[in-house]
Amino acid sequence: MTTPSRRRVLRRAAAVAGGGFFAAAGVGHAVARQARIDPDALSRLRGALAGRLVVPDDDGYAAARRVFYWNPRTETLPTAIVRCASEDDVARAVEFARRHDLEIAVRAGGHAHLGWGGSNGLVIDLAPLAWITVDPLRRVVHAGAGALGGAIARAAAAAGLVPVLGQCPGVGATGVILGGGLGWLAGSFGACCDSLLGARLVTADSRTVTVDGGRAPDLLWGLRGAGANFGVTTSFTARLHPLGRVLGGDIHYAVADARAVLRGFRALMESAPDSLQATLNLTPGPRGLFVSLCQSGDEAAAERTLHMLRTIARPTREAVRWQPYADLAEKAAATNPGDAPAPAWRAIETVYRDSIDDEIIGIIVDQLGRATPDTILGLSHFMHGAVCRVEPTATAFPHRRAHSVHLRLATTWSDPRHSDERFAQGEEWRRLLRPAADERIYANYQTYVAPAGAAAVFGDNHARLVALKTIHDPDNTFRRNANVAPARG
Ligand SMILES: Cc1cc2nc3c(=O)[nH]c(=O)nc-3n(C[C@H](O)[C@H](O)[C@H](O)COP(=O)(O)OP(=O)(O)OC[C@H]3O[C@@H](n4cnc5c(N)ncnc54)[C@H](O)[C@@H]3O)c2cc1C
């Protein structure tokens, strides 16, 4: 029987198949429609799995297909979702998808900006593989591919250590590491991928391989920044670091002070010690502007930071305190305030710039004045310190130029009639802020495709990545990602 909710799903399937959503989003990889798969084949797959197979008729399908940036341009209707409970499940899922010619989406935390954790083909959902083991003597963490950043920070804290992961607790650790990874501790300890020591990988031909510096150094290099391209990482090992308490939290300012705060934030970050990272968020509504910070090290450095933040404009509110790093790492990101009801739709645009000049500041102030009330504009991951002291070609993640910064505009809405307005706002913002030349894109923040394609994402590493991809995934089985196309034979 076709239930009303099932009918809605089918109607949406027709819309996705016929619409230009994906072309408009510049994604270009989503398949046109759900494939018809022999039900017996699906039953056999279901019976062989330790985890769960979710298909459109199952309870929970609507929730299982949803990713964080869910909107009319990213939503998909997977033919099947495999909730993997073991490495074998991953291998079976890859093998099944290839045999039935289904596009594969690999999902850990589901936070990719372009919804890469979804597909109309087969979704390999790694969330159940969320185990975490900390080795305090060797100062490493071993974790399953579904472990999230906040949970790893909490597990490491029990041993007095910290992981190098992103600034949002809900982001998948593998998702952030495999794309490079920039977080609160980038100035002190480098990019997330710089702490990656090894991984287990299910390849396009369903083999399982161990990747580390001794056994597969080329693949380890590729996993450190372009890692979604070479297979499904099922578990990983990463270095942990000792760190005392950090000064963390938010300092708020009035919207009217936007220009002064932007200039002051730039001055703060251009002279920042390695031990400081800060993010500036600008909202047109009652939340106003706020600088979120993480300062480790001695109290004198913290006092200098606080003094600067108190003089760039008059703070309207301060909520900073010394705390264990794990407390800060578990705080919901600014783009995902925990107190508000979840919106139906979310979208984001990001642009990477080499520096913040006065023209950029002027555009941001102007855009803030025009923004819809739910909009958050932001400046994140100001590049300095340890992350910039690693050679751009030492790992696949190349964007290590000091003083470069990531700009973003995030919006949420629930009324589908507002979709066009939200997308137009984001596109206008992007058009104004994209650099005219030498455009670069950070894989984890990719929201559009540059004319240079993957070369804009991987810079001087692109040619080496094409060679590696051609060896390990010549058919481009893993392409719902910052994709490196294999060479044509
Ligand atoms: C609220 C929010 C905050 C963020 N904060 C930061 C931040 O502080 N620093 C930062 O650098 N980035 C940040 N990001 C971006 C984030 O790092 C990327 O979107 C990242 O790729 C998300 O990983 P995920 O596992 O959650 O997402 P998913 O959508 O599940 O995966 C992202 C991509 O990685 C691939 N992938 C994931 N896991 C695997 C695996 N095990 N094997 C193979 N491929 C895999 C997926 O196929 C997909 O292409 C943030 C994003 C959001 C939404």
Q: What is the pLDDT of residue 335?
A: 54
What's the 176 CA to ligand 1 centre distance in angstroms?
5
Judge whether 118 lies within some domain: yes
pLDDT bracket for residue 339 (50, 70, 90): low
Distance of CA 221 from the midpoint of ligand 1 (Å): 18
Residue 236 and residue 264 in one domain: no
The band of 340, judged by pLDDT with boundaries at 50, 70 and 90, is low
* Residue 481 reports pLDDT greater than 70: yes
The answer to the question of residue 482 being in a domain is no
pLDDT digits (tens, 9 = 90+) for 377-416: 999 999 999 999 999 999 999 999 999 999 999 999 999 9
- 107 plus 144 within the same structural domain: no
Pocket lining: 150 vs ligand 1, CB cutoff 6 Å = no
Query: Which of 84, 101, 125 is the endpoint of a domain?
Result: 125
- Quote the tokens at residue 451: 């004319």
Domain shared by 212 and 359, yes or no: no
Question: Is a pLDDT exceeding 50 seen at residue 40?
Answer: yes
Residues 267 and 228 in one domain: no
pLDDT band at 332 (very low <50, low <70, confident <90, very high): low
Please name which of 269, 359, 273 lies closest in space to residue 309, comparing C-alpha atoms: 269
Secondary-structure breakdown of the chain: helix, strand, coil percentages, each rounded to the nearest 5 = 35, 20, 45
Query: Would you call 474 exposed, middle or buried from its count of C-beta atoms within 10 A (0-12, 13-18, 19+)?
Result: middle
98 pLDDT above the threshold of 80: yes
- Whether residue 102 lies inside any domain: the answer is yes
Give, in order, the Cα–Cα distances in Å from 423 to each of 412, 428, 439. 11, 9, 21
**Angle at CA 230, nearest 5°, toward 228 and 236?**
65
- CATH number at 397 reads 3.40.462.20
| DSSP per-residue letters across 365-378 | HHHHHH--TT-EEE
Structural domain count of the chain: 3
Q: Is 115 in the pocket of ligand 1 (CB under 6 A)?
A: no
CATH number of 107's domain = 3.30.43.10
Residue 460 lies in a domain: no
Residue 158: alpha-carbon gap to chain centroid? 26
Residue range 443-476, pLDDT digits in tens: 999 999 999 999 999 999 999 999 999 999 999 9
Measured from the CB, is residue 104 less than 6 Å from ligand 1? no
pLDDT of 31 over the 70 cut: no
pLDDT over 50 (residue 8): no
Do 186 and 215 have their domain in common? yes
Same domain flag for 138 and 284: no
Of 65, 90, 125, the position where a domain reaches its end is 125
Is 87 a domain residue?
Answer: yes
Q: Provide the pLDDT for residue 483.
A: 98
What are the E-state strand segments in 381-478?
Answer: 405-413
26 found inside a domain = no
Q: Decide: helix, strand or coil at residue 148.
A: strand
Pocket test of ligand 1: the residue of 171, 277, 442, 469 to mutate, having most ligand atoms within 8 Å of its CB, is 171
* 51, 199: one domain: no
CA dist list (Å): 399 to 4, 66, 357, 459, 479:
48, 30, 19, 8, 21
Name the residue type at position 395. Answer: T
Shared-domain flag, residues 142 and 60: no
pLDDT in tens, 237-254: 999 999 999 999 999 999
Q: What pLDDT was estimated at residue 286? A: 87
Q: What is the pLDDT of residue 451?
A: 93
Q: Say if residue 230 is in the same domain as residue 291.
A: no
pLDDT score of 185 more than 80: yes
Evaluate whether residue 27 is within a structural domain.
Answer: no
Cβ–ligand 1 distance for 183 under 6 Å, the answer yes
**What CA–CA distances, in Å, run from 130 to 147, 152, 223?**
4, 10, 20
Q: Is 68 in the pocket of ligand 1 (CB under 6 A)?
A: yes
- pLDDT attached to residue 336: 52
Q: How far apart are CA 422 and CA 41, in angstroms?
A: 41
Beta strands in 159-245 (DSSP E): 161-162, 196-202, 208-212, 232-239, 241-242
Q: Are 118 and 136 in contact (CB under 8 A)?
A: no
pLDDT of residue 368: 98
Please tell me if the CB atom of residue 177 comes closer than 6 angstroms to any atom of ligand 1: no
**Does residue 454 form part of some domain?**
no
Rounded distance, CA 199 to CA 232, Å? 10
Which residue range forms the structural domain that includes residue 137?
132-242+466-472
238: domain CATH number is 3.30.465.10
Tens-place pLDDT, residues 257-313: 999 999 999 999 999 999 999 999 999 988 899 999 999 988 899 999 999 999 999
> Which residue in the block uniquely carries the two structure tokens 């009330």?
373
Query: Any bridge partners for residue 134, and if so which?
Result: 141
Considering the domain architecture, whether residues 278 and 313 belong to the same structural domain is answered as: yes
417 pLDDT tier (thresholds 50, 70, 90): very high
Whether residues 162 and 86 fall in one domain? no
Instruction: Read off the pLDDT of each residue in 56-64 and give the average, rounded to a whole number.
Output: 95
Q: In terms of C-beta density within 10 A (0-12 exposed, 13-18 middle, 19 or more buried), how is residue 378 classed?
A: buried
Mean pLDDT of the chain: 92
Are 296 and 184 in the same domain?
no
Give the lowest-confidence range in 29-33, 200-204, 477-481: 29-33
CB distance 204 to ligand 1 below 6 Å: no
At residue 334, does pLDDT exceed 90? no
Distance CA 287, CA 290 (A): 8
Q: Is 328's C-beta closer than 6 angstroms to any atom of ligand 1? A: no
State the pLDDT at residue 6: 40
Q: State if residue 144 touches ligand 1 by the CB under 6 angstroms criterion.
A: no
CA dist 396 and 466 (Å) reads 11
464 C-alpha vs ligand 1 centroid, how far in Å?
A: 23
CA nearest neighbour of 199 among 219, 182, 184: 219
Give the Å distance between the CA of 314 and the centre of ligand 1. 36
